[in-house]
Structure 1
């Protein structure tokens, strides 16, 4: 036994307290470390601690401190406590445990998703110079000499710095040789990468704080009077200080057209002082409440119903048609919560939505609002995190990740567009549904939840219809504007030169012309980005596919590349068929890029813009485009789902759905529900102020039942039809779905593994198993896929037992050497 291990064993024998620590890793269980006596007061749940696991250092979160020593092993000691106070609260730890249990993943995976990057410290290698090595490096080779000389000067180097010195990425052999020759040794350091943002502020020297002293300076200081530019800069500073209160160096130099040297001259003379201060990365508005509207009679009735329902039920479903004024009801509810000094979480499914909604809410609540989503960089996210934790941020507007913020006193959660599939996290784990997780999280605070939608999910509406949720309805548009008229255009009767799908039918072209003549705006929806979803050889029918995935490649004309939308791989355009050698290809179907090109051809005088993942870049890209459209600087906006989710534009008269078949053509039990929701949401963008709008749906199969319900804007009849079908075929909300995906680089191995797994489940759950079978896309990123579905009754005991058996079967399968490398991914409530 080594000396170090012997000391640790002695320490563990004496240790009286132990900590269960979460690490940001997919571990089978949470591990325990011993708490040294000198750290006992500092180690508390929610704090980060420095621990060693398999010779690597990690910053873990303490979940629990207890006095029960593990029987099977001697735990290692915690090395250090990294926080003076917890960075997460008890309710967050409870949420993490619930997500881990319900969605079948580890708490470490939840922690990895929940914490900002800066809280997840990394173990960085630091080389420390060995003073006993002296300075004679004659025995070293060239690379060793360069590093040793740098170490002699700096005493320590990080791995990145060694790579820069040698100008190569593979530095480990050099480092290994230097350690062996006694030149240096390795020290592992957990480094917190968050840094405060600092800016230079300019202030007046206290000597000139009085009006008399300042007047004397300006009138009698001859040196200053001779320095004309400095005098101009000083006067600009005084004016700036009077109007804004505090003066940033960057703003002062920019507005006064002065140089840094002129400012330095005033500082050297002792007139101005340049001071470095910590500043927020997120701009803050003054905190104010300015509710400058009156609710309509229908809105007031709905608000009173919501408030009454909150006394009996935690969750209320607000079913309000598009443009009925749901947001104003939310504003009134938020105002009441602010008066009670409570926090509010306002969740939206898309980042594109947050920009428009926050501008509107800022009119009412100013700096009480904070925004949080994945487009913020790590430093910005940690600043918002700290403001929520301190209680300074009262209204938090964000996408699904805002659920993980450390709320101090949550009073209300608003889940707007609750039906939206974007609330469901796909990859990586935890594969949670933010709407459902939010309801649990709110219950920990005793907070109320409002689910809002014009087209509620069938699950939520069912829960409301059976009394689990309260149901509040707002079925008339604000100002009693009529819902838009919906026309179906049968494209089966229309033809194109390429015998492909019609992009802009004649009725749609005429409607666009009419809209432009009225000086109104147009939104066109096509749920495919790129120029052409696939190209096909006209001789033999060969289609270019991705080498890594079993999908056709999408042609992007602007970048002149074929792109796989599953793995992101780019390919050069194909001009020769790999099957028959022919050079003639036809572009099949169409994406937003192609639509934009057609619009520019048909309407050369119109201002056309595109809104999709390819066109919108950067943190503020969505907002910039939305603002241009709001200001009527864009006539026609074409886009994917980004353009349809809850955005409110005053001057839109016409909305066109270019390919209704693509929306209704999926092999999925939710296809009718999603199709109805999407079409109704798209149509809701039309005619929102003083005029009935118009919607055109281009579709080949005009006999789809969903189209009738959409034309009538009849959600209740659609719900009744769909819920009867779900009950007949035992789909949610009458059952719980649990999907298991198997992945491996060899198709025969993954198929064998899936069958073996299913056989292991057969005895107890055979009647509930569907599959295993290949999914429609059976290869992604060079891994072959198999899927198995369990359709379980809504019996909590049975579902939990099934989850436990899935974990057991996973362990059994991975103990078989043939299937050790098969990736098994459970997904609860997958759709």
Structure 2
């Protein structure tokens, strides 16, 4: 009796596909293993086996699995269950979850490979063209070759049409070659050709080498590094380290190998080398100890607890003590942070306590590094603590005991594009519950939804209102930029108050952080004469000027071009930049404080992992005195010597057209203010705004989180926003704007028949065209008690009904659940 496997393909498909299992695989194939399967014409994919069963599908003929890639599964059963929940809740295909979850190194890539047909004879009536003949001649030297390599071999360009015509003439074959993306790291080691039981032979070897001083020196270095003649465990000696220690050339080692004294060998090694723990955790002070005990008590009653602790209250040390408790029980911990930059500072603190039991996981690591961490967890190689960003929720945990979500309010926990558009905080809570683990949410400025859940008793709530060593919260002073500009006392981007405060701090050897939540030199360029503004040709946005490259850049699609010397509309040369980004602030700071070193931390300067680490390390070591940054600098970084923080433009954050704008503005300003005065004297924050009397500014000045919360929660309830209602944004995209308008209205009308007045729109989003695609947005406001499974059923029903209109099939349609 045949057996079948339901597999997950890395494609946006709603369902599993069923394949027949070959007889020789029936006893070896398990759920969670990778297999190669055919799909469509001449396409091969790496699929994940979800279920094995004896039931053939009723509506299509099954194809056979081609290859089994794994002797043991690369996924655990709880992961598959978690993937299904992500797909169900966030209204996406499980194939999208697969693509996001598995490191690229575990997904085999398919390359088109061309083979000559040895039986092909040129037809008198259908002669080969010149390009076809050149390609066949180039192919004759190979049994198989990829299209890319064939282009190099023949020197021809754009050969796909030629391959197509040769296929039609049956002169060649096209197949698919599967290429494994993961390569384990290997290292060469050296050892003696005999064991310790024959160490008396060393005396004879010393005599033979007495005239070969360099060879003798190498042998002595090996004996010392390996501990061969000492009691205890014999240590492996890397070839490279041995040659460096002995200060000899590889030829010396080769001579000893030729004499049969040494042998070399190669083995797989880890890409991650941490030393053993050198210190335990620091003792907690009284306030921290009380919070720690309160969390333990809360966990006995609640699965999720919020730690609401003011900035610099020592939350990280509480996390470390909690992690220690869980690791002692042999269970695993996931420690989530919102920014890769934060892993840089936290790694040394955690490694001090947990050593090799710690692993770090984020997108700035190479594929090979991520695969290694994946395999270490899968094979239970001693990793107990994972420090990572949002994608870490997909790792193959065996026995998760605790999940910590640090800075839980951050919107970077939400995946935007591509699908799945999951929120890592919410997904982590579900993941923890699947493992019977506890979740701790930590922040100084909780998201309104989280704080509401804590006040309602759904989550536990622990508060830590005292800064570490009882330091005062920073003093916040307001600079009224509108009044200063009216009086012509602020010609640039810095108020006199900020300049004086920063100057005083720098003279005393202290450091300064300047926060501006826009990168680039200037967000807008304009012709003074005719008001022409350069727009992106692909998107409905103005271009941002980057002075360093002397070019305009679209931050949505990446389109760039040089800043024109004269206006394309009127021909005048009076083009000026307006507004300011981090790049312009950097230039202004260098002019105001030429004697101090400046660093900038934004997306443009932190493209690589090393760049993050270098900027933070230089600032920690006081090699740079002034740090300019976007919201990256607000997220939990701990710098001892910062006494002044400047918030350069509060107004752009407050006036953003979004129901979360006030909450986000408060969080950003409170968090960046918290970088000041963490050690030593009380810090100072200079907040520049044109609206000093705005209620939100007063709440920031008074560190009044609860005042902001009660204002916003009343508005949210009145207008049916989270946490009282759940939001689903439905996006429709098309290149034809008129067709998009017609179809989006028809779709919204169909949805209203199912959801009534819970449907709003369609409307234009703030940016209504990106990458040549026009966009319309429909909003679904659904009660929090409603079943997301039922919502999904209704949405897919409406989508399927719309497919009767052929034009609807050309639309791109996707859902964003719990949008940020």
TM-score, length of structure 1 as denominator length:
0.93
Q: Which among 681, 689, 693 is matched to residue 679 of structure 2?
A: 689
Q: Which among 353, 362, 378 is matched to residue 364 of structure 1?
A: 353
Residues of 2 paired with 1:528 and 1:438: CA distance? 30
Residues of 2 paired with 1:818 and 1:292: CA distance? 62
More moved, 194-203 vs 726-735: 194-203
Residues of 2 paired with 1:651 and 1:752: CA distance? 59
Residues of 2 paired with 1:94 and 1:348: CA distance? 24
Alpha carbons 1:544, 1:574 under 8 Å: kept: no
> Residue in 2 aligned with 1:206?
194
Alpha carbons 1:531, 1:590 under 8 Å: kept: yes
1:436-481 deviation per Cα after TM superposition (whole angstroms, max 9, x unaligned)? 0111111111110000011011101100111100001111111100
Would you say 1:757 and 2:742 are equivalent positions?
Answer: no
The offset of 1:592, in angstroms, is 0.7
More moved, 646-655 vs 199-208: 199-208
More moved, 449-458 vs 557-566: 557-566
Would you say 1:342 and 2:331 are equivalent positions?
Answer: yes
Would you say 1:477 and 2:467 are equivalent positions?
Answer: yes
1:36-60 deviation per Cα after TM superposition (whole angstroms, max 9, x unaligned)? 3332222221111222211222121
Residues 296-335 of structure 1 correspond to what in structure 2 (within 5 A)? 296-335=285-324
> Residue in 1 aligned with 2:34?
48
Structure 1 270/311 Cα, relative in aligned 2: closer, same or farther at 3 Å?
same
Superposed CA RMSD in Å reads 2.5
Q: Which among 23, 30, 47 is matched to residue 37 of structure 1?
A: 23
> Residue in 1 aligned with 2:656?
666
Residues 88-103 of structure 1 correspond to what in structure 2 (within 5 A)? 88-103=75-90
> Residue in 2 aligned with 1:113?
100
Residues 493-512 of structure 1 correspond to what in structure 2 (within 5 A)? 493-495=483-485, 502-512=492-502
Residues of 1 paired with 2:458 and 2:533: CA distance? 50
Would you say 1:712 and 2:698 are equivalent positions?
Answer: no
> Residue in 1 aligned with 2:124?
none
Alpha carbons 1:24, 1:120 under 8 Å: kept: no
Residues 430-509 of structure 1 correspond to what in structure 2 (within 5 A)? 430-495=420-485, 502-509=492-499
Structure 1 579/438 Cα, relative in aligned 2: closer, same or farther at 3 Å?
same
Alpha carbons 2:88, 2:789 under 8 Å: kept: no
Structure 1 188/764 Cα, relative in aligned 2: closer, same or farther at 3 Å?
closer
The offset of 1:347, in angstroms, is 0.4
Alpha carbons 2:402, 2:432 under 8 Å: kept: yes
Structure 1 498/542 Cα, relative in aligned 2: closer, same or farther at 3 Å?
farther
Structure 1 355/648 Cα, relative in aligned 2: closer, same or farther at 3 Å?
same
Would you say 1:75 and 2:65 are equivalent positions?
Answer: no
Residues of 1 paired with 2:264 and 2:172: CA distance? 42
Structure 1 141/611 Cα, relative in aligned 2: closer, same or farther at 3 Å?
same
Structure 1 550/256 Cα, relative in aligned 2: closer, same or farther at 3 Å?
farther
What secondary structure, in the 3-state scheme, does the structure 2 residue paired with 1:614 have? coil
Residues 173-212 of structure 1 correspond to what in structure 2 (within 5 A)? 173-175=161-163, 185-206=173-194, 212=200
Residues of 2 paired with 1:588 and 1:497: CA distance? 20
Would you say 1:247 and 2:237 are equivalent positions?
Answer: yes
Structure 1 173/753 Cα, relative in aligned 2: closer, same or farther at 3 Å?
closer
> Residue in 1 aligned with 2:231?
none
1:242-262 deviation per Cα after TM superposition (whole angstroms, max 9, x unaligned)? 599333233344455433333
Residues of 1 paired with 2:140 and 2:216: CA distance? 49
1:616-670 deviation per Cα after TM superposition (whole angstroms, max 9, x unaligned)? 2322211111111111111000011111100011111011101111111101110
What secondary structure, in the 3-state scheme, does the structure 1 residue paired with 2:609 have? coil
What secondary structure, in the 3-state scheme, does the structure 1 residue paired with 2:605 have? coil
Residues 624-703 of structure 1 correspond to what in structure 2 (within 5 A)? 624-703=614-693
Alpha carbons 2:453, 2:459 under 8 Å: kept: yes
> Residue in 1 aligned with 2:91?
104
Q: Which among 11, 15, 33 is matched to residue 25 of structure 1?
A: 11
Alpha carbons 1:208, 1:271 under 8 Å: kept: no
1:650-707 deviation per Cα after TM superposition (whole angstroms, max 9, x unaligned)? 1110111011111111011101110111011001101111321110110111122111
Structure 1 351/390 Cα, relative in aligned 2: closer, same or farther at 3 Å?
same
Q: Which among 391, 396, 401 is matched to residue 401 of structure 1?
A: 391
The offset of 1:210, in angstroms, is 5.5
**How many equivalent pairs are there?**
809
What secondary structure, in the 3-state scheme, does the structure 2 residue paired with 1:750 have? helix
Structure 1 543/147 Cα, relative in aligned 2: closer, same or farther at 3 Å?
closer
Residues of 1 paired with 2:269 and 2:649: CA distance? 49
> Residue in 2 aligned with 1:385?
374
Would you say 1:293 and 2:318 are equivalent positions?
Answer: no
Residues of 2 paired with 1:371 and 1:471: CA distance? 29
The offset of 1:744, in angstroms, is 1.1
> Residue in 2 aligned with 1:569?
559
The offset of 1:217, in angstroms, is 2.6
Structure 1 782/711 Cα, relative in aligned 2: closer, same or farther at 3 Å?
same
Residues of 1 paired with 2:659 and 2:393: CA distance? 28
